[in-house]
Chains A and B, each alone.
Chain A
Amino acid sequence: MKYLADVTTIEYNADKCTGCGRCIEVCPHGVFDMNGKKAFITDKDLCMECGACANNCEFEAISVDYGVGCAAAVINSMISGGEPACGCSGDDGGSSSGACC
C-alpha cells in the first residue's frame, strides 16, 4: 500500500553516501537499495517519514522532515500551534504536545 504521491520530504545526497547500508537496514518500507557502492531511492512514495534512516545515517546523506502521520496529532498541532506529536491516549482524544513536561 502506498500513501499520497509526491508529498514526502525525504532528500538523499549521493555525494555524501559511503554505502554503509544502514538506511537499507532500518527502513521498514524498502525505500533504499544498493547500487554498487552507493544507496539509491527505489520509490519516494513508499516513504512514511519516520526518520529512522536520517537518524542513523552517520554521514548526513539523508534528511527528512519526520513526524507522525496521524490526523488527530496534526489537527491538535493546528489548534495548539505546536509540532504534531502523539498525544492521544484513546480516552481523552489527546492533548498534543505539552502534557509531558
Chain B
Amino acid sequence: MDINRDKNTESGGSCCPPPQPAGMPLKFVSSSLSRPLVSDLREKYDCVTGSVESLAGAVPRVSTAWSSSDRLGAFRSRIGAYRMRYTIPPGLYAVGEPTKGSDVFVTANYKLSFDHLRRALKGINGWILVLDTKSINVWCAAGKGTFGTEELISRIESTKLDKIVEHRRIIVPQLGAVGVNAATVKKRTRFRVEFGPVRADDISGFVENNYKATTEMRKIRFGMRDRVVLTPMEINPAMKKFPQFALIVLLIFGIQPSGILFQDALWGGLPFILLGLLAVFTGAFLTPALLPYVPFRSFAVKGWIVGIFAVYLLVDHLHYIPTMDSYLKAVAYIFFPMMSSYIALQFTGSTTYTGMSGVKKELKLGVPVYIVAATVSFIVTIFHKLVVWGVI
C-alpha cells in the first residue's frame, strides 16, 4: 500500500471548499447538492449495479466483482498521475442486500481503495461509507487529516446513517486511526468506531472473529510484491529529470578547445549516460525490490551498496566500457553509487515503516556527502579534460 506517494490532488486549489453561505452547514451542502443520483452513478461507474431502499432514501448498490475497466484503472493509478482523478463520489453505498442490522465499512474516495474494499466484501451484506479524501488512499489521507474525525462525523450525519442502521458500530480501516479519533466520533455521533484490519482482504475473517482483528491482521506487511508495484512511481520521477542530466553530460564531453564537437559528446558521454540509467535502475527498482536483502537499515547506504555493485559489474567486471581512463573511472565510482543512493532514499516516501525522524537523520548526514561527491566528481572530470587537452 502506498503510504506517501498516492497523494495530492491539490493543484490550483481544487481542494478548497467553496465559500459557505452564512448559516448553511457543510452537511447540507454535501448531502443535498453534490450527491449524484443513482442513475447518473450507474451511467458513469460500471460497479454501480442498482439501488437499495433505505429509511433515508435510495442507496446505490455496487458489485463486489472487478470489471476490466476496474483492472485498467488500478493499473493506470499505479503508473502515473491518473491516480489523482481516480475517484468515486463520497457518500453511502450498499453491497449485497444490507438491512438495518448490517455492518458499515468506511473507506476513502480513491477508487482503488474503494475497489479493494468492495471486492473484499464478497458474500457480505453491508454498507460502505465513502469519505471525501480528495482521491487519496486511506493511510495518506489519514496523515493529511482528510480521512479524519470531522469528515467522518459530517458524513455520518449527511448520509443519515443513524436512520439507516439500528446498531451504532462502524468499522474503520485500522490505518485510518492516524486521522480518526474514535472517542470524539463516539461522543458526537454515538457511533462506536471499531478499527478493522489493515488489509481489506482480512475483513471477512475479522467479522467472523467477532470483530476482533488478530495480531497478524493488525500488522502491515511490505513484501516483494507490495514493493515492486510501487517502483513505477519511483522510476517515473527520476526519468523525468534524466534528460537534463544527459544534456549536461553531453555538454561536458563535447566541449573541446575548438568548440563543441558532436562526436566527442556522443562517444565520451554515452558511457556516463548508460551509468546514469543504471543508477536509476538500481536506486528506483533494484534497491526497493531487494530491500530486506541489502545490508544496513539506512536507505541511503542500501542504495549506495547496490549502486557500487552495479558500477563494478559494468565497468570492471564486464569491461563494458573500454574507453575510460583512471580519472573517469574514479568519477564513475564516486558519482553513480551516490546517485543510486539518493534515488533509493526517495523510496522512504513509499514504504510502510520509515519514520520522519529517521529520514531527517539520513538527510542530515547524506546531503553534505552528496554535495561533496558531486563537486569532487565535477573537479575530477575537469582534470580529465585538461589532461586530454594536454594542458597538464
User: Residues on A close to B: CB < 8 A?
Assistant: 1-5, 7-9, 22, 24-30, 46-52, 55-56, 58, 65-75, 78, 84-94, 99-101
A16 to chain B, nearest CB (A): 15
Partner of B81, one of A2, A25, A70, A90: A90
Asked whether A71 and B144 contact (CB < 8 A) given A26-B174, A101-B15, the answer is no
Contact sample, A vs B, 8 pairs, CB 8 Å cutoff: A24-B218, A26-B195, A49-B355, A56-B180, A74-B360, A74-B363, A86-B4, A89-B7
A3-B358, A28-B352 given as contacts; is B218 within 8 A of A86 (CB)? no
Closest to B196 in A: A25
Rounded to whole angstroms, the CA-CA distance of A101 and B354 in the bound complex is 28
**Given A22-B182, A86-B7; A71-B345 close (CB under 8 Å):** yes
B220 at interface, CB cutoff 8 A: yes
CB-defined contacts of B213 to chain A, threshold 8 Å? 25
A75–B182 CA distance with the chains assembled, in angstroms: 33
Alpha-carbon gap, A67 to B143, bound state (A)? 8
Q: How many residues does chain B have at the interface if contact means C-beta atoms less than 8 Å apart?
A: 64
4 A-B pairs closest in CB distance? A70-B349, A26-B177, A49-B355, A69-B354
Smallest Cβ distance from B223 to chain A, in angstroms? 10
Is chain A's binding surface mostly helix, strand, loop or mixed? loop
Pick the contact of A69: B9, B222, B359 (CB < 8 A): B359
Interface residues of B in 216-259 (CB under 8 A from A): 218-220, 222, 233, 236-237, 240
For the complex, give the distance between the alpha carbons of A14 and B31 in Å: 44
A74-B8 in contact (CB<8A): no
Within 8 A of A (CB), among B99-144: 139-140, 142-144
> How far in angstroms is the closest Cβ of chain A from B212?
9
Q: Nearest Cβ in chain A — how far from B358, in angstroms?
A: 4
Please tell me if B348 contacts chain A, counting CB pairs below 8 Å. yes
B370 CB, min distance to chain A CBs, angstroms: 11
Residues in chain A near residue B240, CB distance under 8 A: 91
Pick the residue among B13, B143, B181, B346 that contacts A50 (CB under 8 A): B143
Instruction: Find chain A residues with CB under 8 A from B291 CB.
Output: 1
Q: What chain A residues lie within 8 Å of B142 (beta carbons)?
A: 52
In the complex, are the beta carbons of B195 and A28 less than 8 A apart? no
A92 touches B219 (CB 8 A): no
Q: Are A56 and B183 in contact (CB under 8 A)?
A: yes
**Whole-angstrom distance between the alpha carbons of A7 and B353 in the complex?**
13
Question: A26 CB to closest chain B CB, in angstroms?
Answer: 4
- Residue among A47, A69, A86 with the most chain B CB within 10 A? A69
Q: Are A48 and B363 in contact (CB under 8 A)?
A: no
Given known A26-B177, A28-B174, A89-B8, contact A70–B353 (CB-CB < 8 A): no
Q: Could you give, for residues 21-44 of chain B, a 1 whenever the CB lies within 8 Å of some chain A CB and a 0 otherwise?
A: 000000000000000000000000
Find A74's partner among B80, B84, B174, B359 (CB 8 Å cutoff): B359
A84 contact set on B, CB distance < 8 A: 356
Instruction: Say whether B222 contacts A72, CB under 8 Å.
Output: no
Chain A residue nearest to B212 (CB atoms) is A25
Contact B215 A30 (CB under 8 A): yes
User: Which B residues are CB-close (under 8 A) to A55?
Assistant: 177-181
